Amino acid sequence: MNIIYSRLFELSILHDYFQDGFAKGIHLAPTEETQWHLSKGRMISRETPIGLVVLYKAEDDLTTPLVPLTSPINFYFFIHLQSGPNFFGITDLSEGSRKLKNQEIVSFSNDPSSASNDSASPETISLSIWDGIIAKHTSQRVTLNPTPSKVILRVLDPVGNSIPSGLDANGNPLPLDFELTPDDQDDFSFEINLSGKSEGNYTFLLRDEGDTTDLWKKEYFLTENVFGPRALGVVKISYASAPNHLYGAKEFYALDFKRKSTKWLYYIVSQSNKVDVSSAQLAISDKSAPVTPPYALYAFDQIGAAPNTDIKINDSDTVLFKSQDPIPFFEVPKIKLELSRKPGNKVLISNMPNPSSSNIRKVDLGEEISEIYVYI
């Protein structure tokens, strides 16, 4: 009998920092439970130059699975970073106003009702943020201010159903709304034991005694094995709400990472003393013509006096210029930013350097700033 594999789905990883539109330096690996499902269903996952493909062993008709899996089923893949450009430096890891913080993870979850069978127009999945990756059996300690006399612990499964947080001493399920009182340190300590449940994104809630308000809320990816290299996040491809899609027409998905934009702050350092910055009347002008997307024309304002009265570098005078608008990071550098002096409009530098993706970003009054040091 011929060994035939058919494609279940393909997943590409987009990133608009890169000129070809595809991310670099990202590795996708099935979770332990997903790998068990793949093996059970005679499936394999293979990384491609632009993402991932999952295939299943099929009959001669190329459609009927040799060993069918039963829906509902979800496939999860960890997102790991490899070598390449500084991913955190070039990528906007935010969901609305929420910025990714330490221990949090990014998540991508498909919508089965929006699945695409067109490789040229995949279902594009936007980034969300979850609170982290933890074990199915875990303990939590929460401080609330002010400390209520009682709260309700509620656990929601990946589809939003309320489930018991574990079992009591007799092996019976705990109440769906489990009441907690503060411990001797005025904290709320509780144990979650979802061993035996499928991995996925579970929500933990502490509600007020009247069950009207969330006092604390966390959404975690729960898995059996949390050891190994820390993942940036998780991809979920679900067939739970659309079981007829499983083994149907091949589906196409795309993760959509977006580039970061920051305001550029140039420190012009008069280190050689060839330019008297107090009288040179320096300026930065954008001479790009034509303008090439994603860049636009940018104006720069001088910050403070010349020389700057607050900042010296290596005991040298400085002049500071900041872009009026954020400038995107892009694989192709921004050129034709000119540093000139008056009188005479003499060009000192015709192509000012771009910020490095490995530089630490600073936040000033809520604005992300990329600093560039230029010595004249």
pLDDT in the model for residue 122: 95
φ, ψ at 337 (rounded to 5°): -90, 115
Q: What is the 3-state secondary structure (H, E, C) of the chain?
A: CCCEEEEEEEEEEEECCCCCCECCCEEEEECHHHHHHHHHCCEEEEEECCEEEEEEEECCCCCCECCCCCCCCEEEEEEEECCCCCHHHHECCEECCEECCCCCEEEEECCHHHCECCCCCCEEECCEEECEEEECEEEEEECCCCCCCCEEEEEECCCCCEECCCECCCCCECCCCEEECCCCCCCEEEEEECCCCCCEEEEEEEEECCCCCEEEEEEEEEECCCCCCCCCEEEEEECCCCHHHCCCCCEEEEEEECECEEEEEEEEEECCCCCCCCCCCEEEEECCCCCCCCCCCCCEEEECCCCCCCCCECCEEEEEEEECCCEECCCCCCCCEEEEECCCCEEEECCCCCCCCCCCCEEECCEEEEEEEEEC
Contacts of 163 (CB under 8 A, 6+ apart): 155, 156, 157, 176, 194, 197
pLDDT in the model for residue 240: 76
Distance, CA of 43 to chain centre: 28
The span from the first CA to the last CA of the chain, in angstroms, equals 73
| pLDDT tens-digit map of 257-316 | 999 999 999 999 998 878 888 889 999 999 998 899 999 999 999 999 999 999 999 999
Half-sphere exposure of 4 (CA within 13 A, CB side): 12
Q: What is the mean pLDDT of residues 352-369?
A: 85
Q: Residue 245: which pLDDT band, with cuts at 50, 70 and 90?
A: confident
Q: Residue 228: which pLDDT band, with cuts at 50, 70 and 90?
A: low
Q: What is the mean pLDDT of residues 6-11?
A: 94
Q: Residue 327: which pLDDT band, with cuts at 50, 70 and 90?
A: very high
CA 373/CA 363 separation, integer angstroms: 17
Q: At residue 1, does pLDDT exceed 60? A: no
The dihedral of CA 161, 167, 168, 173: what is its sign? Answer: positive
Q: What is the mean pLDDT of residues 328-347?
A: 93
Q: At residue 216, does pLDDT exceed 70? A: yes
> Do the beta carbons of residue 140 and residue 220 sit within 8 Å?
no
pLDDT in the model for residue 153: 98
Q: At residue 360, does pLDDT exceed 80? A: no
For residue 153, give both structure tokens.
Answer: 């612990």
Closest CA relative to residue 197, chosen from 231, 154, 238, 167: 167
| pLDDT tens-digit map of 148-201 | 999 999 999 998 999 999 999 999 999 999 999 999 999 999 999 999 999 999
For residue 323, give both structure tokens.
Answer: 């872009």
The three-point CA angle 335-340-342 to 5° equals 160
> Do the beta carbons of residue 150 and residue 180 sit within 8 Å?
yes
Q: What is the mean pLDDT of residues 335-344?
A: 92
> Do the beta carbons of residue 140 and residue 196 sit within 8 Å?
no
Is the previous residue joined to 173 through a cis bond, with omega within 30 degrees of 0? no
For residue 13, give both structure tokens.
Answer: 């990883």
CA 187/CA 290 separation, integer angstroms: 61
pLDDT in the model for residue 243: 63
pLDDT in the model for residue 248: 84
Share of the chain above pLDDT 90, in %: 80
> Do the beta carbons of residue 25 and residue 81 sit within 8 Å?
yes
